[in-house]
Amino acid sequence: MSFTAELKEDILTFKNNNKTEKKLELESMLRISSEISLIPRKLIFDAPTLGIIRRFLATLKEFYQFEYELVERIVNRFNKRKTYEIIITTGADLIIEDLSLMKDQTLNHNELSEEEKQSYLRGAFLMKGSCSDPNGKSIHLEIASEDSKEILFLQSLTNSFELNARIAKRKAYYVLYLKKMSEVRDFLYLIGASTKLNYFENVLITREIRTTLKRTINLDVANQAKTNKSSKEQIKYLKYLEYNYPLQKLDQKLLMVMKVRLDYPEYSLEELLSVIHEEFDPKLSKSGLNHRLRKLKEIAEEYKKR
């Protein structure tokens, strides 16, 4: 089973007892995934799974009396993927008229409650939505329709929740899509995903941890490279002093710093300071250590000029 199929099975477990919201989900399903035959008058509805068919029929029966025929079709003979078609004859006229299916979308998203918007989006996603597995290379959630006005309406509903849904044209379809992991997660929360939402949260947390860890490692590597470069320069002039300068003329505090730096060439300043605090001078500050190293460098440079 694909990730999208698993996701839709999860959403199908969402229960809603509000009549208005259930009817909006129903209208969304029909607008995005049905066609009307005029002669004879029929309403033809297709869905990708039997689970969606069961939800659709159960909801439709709450509002209308109708007769239907269920047709199963194989849409891919290689993997035997099936689709299901509901053909409604008796009762089709009332459904079409009541939901204004022959007319353009007349709903105004500003007049709908948040729950009503969520119900409409749920119906659209169940019928024509898809979502890639967040564990893949990239995340992508989309809803496709041949009706540009319907897609624009779905975009207005989605973005009313402070998401950034965009629209692209793909052959004969208009595609509403989200590409940010956090926005896909929020959209799934809105339409009633539960188990898969937890899965998204875990993937998102894991990615954030990996990103933070990678940044930390990169920073550590950069800091170590900087430390190594600085240490090599210090060792160079300290060794020059060791072999050329009369060390008896050096102040004892400078000699102590020189000895520690030469003994621990790979240490950072913080690590050198720890050694000095333990063995020599517990009061020496980092700025004091820097000052002494600069002084040793100045002595070496002056002595070279002689």
Residue 111 domain-assigned (yes or no)? yes
Q: Is 288 exposed, middle or buried (0-12, 13-18, 19+ CB in 10 A)?
A: middle
Q: Does the pLDDT of residue 224 top 60, yes or no?
A: no
Last residue of a domain, one of 152, 171, 193: 193
What pLDDT score was predicted for residue 252?
87
Strand 173-178 relative to strand 141-145, pairing:
antiparallel
Mean local confidence (pLDDT), 117-124: 96
Pick 38 or 27 by higher pLDDT: 27
Query: Using CA atoms, how far apart are residues 90 and 276, in angstroms rounded to an integer?
Result: 93
- Torsion over CA: 154, 155, 157, 161 (sign): positive
Distant-in-sequence contacts of 158-166, Cβ < 8 A, 24+ apart: 158/121, 158/187, 160/109, 160/117, 161/114, 161/117, 161/186, 161/187, 161/190, 163/187
Considering the domain architecture, whether residues 67 and 127 belong to the same structural domain is answered as yes
CB 147 within 8 A of CB 138: no
Q: How confident is the model at residue 75 (pLDDT cuts 50, 70, 90)?
A: low
Q: What is the pLDDT of residues 293-304, one digit of tens each?
A: 888 888 888 878
**Residue 262: phi, psi to the nearest 5?**
-70, -30
CATH at residue 144: 3.10.28.10
Total domains in the fold of the chain? 2
| pLDDT, averaged across the chain | 85
What pLDDT score was predicted for residue 220?
59
What pLDDT score was predicted for residue 221?
59
Q: What is the pLDDT of residues 245-260, one digit of tens each?
A: 888 888 888 888 888 8
What pLDDT score was predicted for residue 62?
93
What pLDDT score was predicted for residue 218?
66
CA-based nearest residue to 97, from 53, 61, 64, 145: 64
Considering the domain architecture, whether residues 189 and 233 belong to the same structural domain is answered as no
CA-based nearest residue to 125, from 80, 70, 192, 58: 192
What pLDDT score was predicted for residue 226?
62
Residue 209 domain-assigned (yes or no)? no
Q: Does the pLDDT of residue 107 top 80, yes or no?
A: no
Q: Does the pLDDT of residue 54 top 90, yes or no?
A: yes
Considering the domain architecture, whether residues 23 and 117 belong to the same structural domain is answered as yes
- Tell if the pTM clears 0.85, that is, is over it: no
Q: How confident is the model at residue 263 (pLDDT cuts 50, 70, 90)?
A: confident
Considering the domain architecture, whether residues 104 and 149 belong to the same structural domain is answered as yes
Q: What is the pLDDT of residues 16-37, one digit of tens each?
A: 899 999 999 999 999 998 888 8
Considering the domain architecture, whether residues 89 and 234 belong to the same structural domain is answered as no
Write out the residue range of the structural domain in which residue 149 sits.
3-193
Considering the domain architecture, whether residues 9 and 84 belong to the same structural domain is answered as yes
Cα 65-52-178 angle, rounded to 5 deg: 125
What pLDDT score was predicted for residue 276?
86
Considering the domain architecture, whether residues 176 and 250 belong to the same structural domain is answered as no
Query: Using CA atoms, how far apart are residues 62 and 22, in angstroms rounded to an integer?
Result: 9
Considering the domain architecture, whether residues 232 and 181 belong to the same structural domain is answered as no
Q: At what angle do helices 114-128 and 148-159 cross, to 10 degrees?
A: 130
Last residue of a domain, one of 177, 193, 209: 193
